[in-house]
Amino acid sequence: MTKAQPLTRHIISINDLTNKEIETIFEVAQGFLKDLADDNISYRIGRSTDVAAKSILATLFYEPSTRTRLSFESAMLRLGGANITSADPTVSSAAKGESLADTIRVISNYADVVVIRHPRDGAARLAAEYSQIPVINGGDGSHEHPTQTLCDLFTLKTKKKSLKNMKVAISGDLKGSRTIHSFVYALARFGATIDPLPAPGMELPAYVDRRLREEFHCRMVSKDPGQPHGGSIDALYVTADQPHQLSLIPDPEIDYGLLVEKKIDAVYVTRFQKERWSEKERAYPKVDAKFLGEARFSEASVMHPLPRVNELDASFDTDRRAVYFQQAAYGVPIRMALILLLLHLQKNQSLNRFSGGFAEPDHPVYAQPIGTGLQCDNPNCITGDPAERQYAANKFYIVESDSPRQRRLRCVYCEKDIDETTAVHFVVADTVRKTFSPGLQPLAHAGHDRLKHLVIYRSDAEAAASGFAPRDSGGNKVRTG
């Protein structure tokens, strides 16, 4: 009998972890903070263990990093393991044009776990498809940064005990900040209220806003007590206890007025993500003593994933509410815990339940090779990278929203949606019958084998140009000529 291999888990999104698993990571991290404490600083790991001796972590970074890479490497050393690193794409084979898909297959044979950072949205998901070892997303474009969120949540938990009913303001570049995207999903999942304070034009992206409301049960409540219903702007995201529909039906258990008036428990500041914008400067809020002097921030922990540039005044560092250096310090115990669990080196059986994922998406997946049918229209998606095109696919979740008629496609890699618009009218072509028909309906009930024969286009004209004929209402091929 062959021995069962432990499951290879990849942490690409914060939603790849269940709430229970996040709690387990915190418990293990807390254990390290206790057992390997620095004698003088409570949140610093001061000693090492050898639990991961002989294991190797690879850090593969295509973008600048200080905290994420060094805290992962420090975590591995504290566990008794070793690191190999490729931190400068100009001196690796990336400079010769090597694809991520090839690089990761090679690295899979050199290390036991890999952390990757990449400028393209969805790069870490593509890497995971080609990896035999666990892939941890250390930040992919403006998509997600799940391990930063683990540090953020852990910091909040140590300060405030429970996230339930906590009110967290998020400030700055909510559009370009990957840290924010992972963070807001987690806040919603743990029952916090989110108070967005975006810089002008930098609101949460539509796909994140929509997932908060449709999948994470957030209800929009206007910050203006005179307005009963909130729009996406100037509204709080309040998490309901019960699933679904709650974006429409108020939860009788929640006093929304009280939540609007409630003081802020934490404010999370982010820098302008200039590398994700074409402009190098934009009007941007400055968080300083004056701003934080408002009564609503009097008990707020002030957080920042760092690096900060000018948006958070250094004079604030000595304020009792500043927790950002502690937040960065937690990168070591949190990442130690994550590595240990992913490598199945956790000996304590009660903590060794690291399986499954958060609500594994049960949406059907449509996939066709790049070049066939509809492609993700996010220009920064990994599927648009010329070096990766032959390794990626046009792969979408078929997502149904409130009404089954409203189907849309979510790119499996970057998770951005493609909606029907005035310019986009999905049609589905059948490669066996050589016909096409309007709408995504044929995909909804197609089994796996049938899905392989269906190709989505954006319009009748695109399907026709690819050699398909329209079907009439009786399902017959329309004769032309």
Interface residues with ligand NCD (CB under 6 A) are 67-68, 139, 145, 148, 178-179, 270-271, 305-307
Smaller CB separation from ligand NCD, 196 or 305: 305
* Distance, CA of 398 to CA of 412 (rounded, Å): 10
CA 400: distance to chain centroid? 20
* Residue (36 or 306) nearer to ligand NCD, CB: 306
Least CB distance to ligand NCD at residue 147 (A): 8
Alpha-carbon span 151 to 170, nearest angstrom? 16
CA distance 466 to 245: 40
CB of 139 to ligand NCD, least distance (A): 4
The residue of the chain with the least Cβ separation from ligand NCD equals: 305
Q: Nearest distance from residue 235's CB to ligand NCD, in Å?
A: 25
Q: How many CA atoms lie within 13 A of 346 on its CB side?
A: 24
Strand order in the sheet with 82-86: 82-86, 56-61, 113-118, 135-140
Question: Could you tell me the smallest distance in angstroms from the CB atom of residue 307 to ligand NCD?
Answer: 6
Q: For residue 127, count other CB atoms closer than 10 A to its CB.
A: 28
Judged by beta carbon, residue 148 or residue 247, the one nearer ligand NCD is 148
**Residue whose CB is less far from ligand NCD, 8 or 74:** 74
Considering the complex, what minimum distance in angstroms separates the CB of residue 461 from ligand NCD? 40
Output the CA–CA distances (angstroms, integers) from residue 416 to 111, 379, 442, in the order listed.
Answer: 31, 11, 22
Give the three-state DSSP class for 338: helix
Name the DSSP class of 16: G
CB of 88 to ligand NCD, least distance (A): 16
Please say which residue, 145 or 416, places its beta carbon nearer to ligand NCD. Answer: 145
Query: For residue 69, how many C-alpha atoms fall within 13 Å in the half-sphere facing its CB?
Result: 18
Quick one: 270 or 301, whose CB is closer to ligand NCD?
270
CB of residue 436 to ligand NCD, shortest distance in Å? 42
Pick between residue 268 and residue 436 the one whose CB is nearest to ligand NCD: 268
Instruction: Please give the Cα distance from 263 to 187 (Å, whole number).
Output: 17
């709408």: which residue's tokens? 439
- 173: which 2 tokens? 């570049």
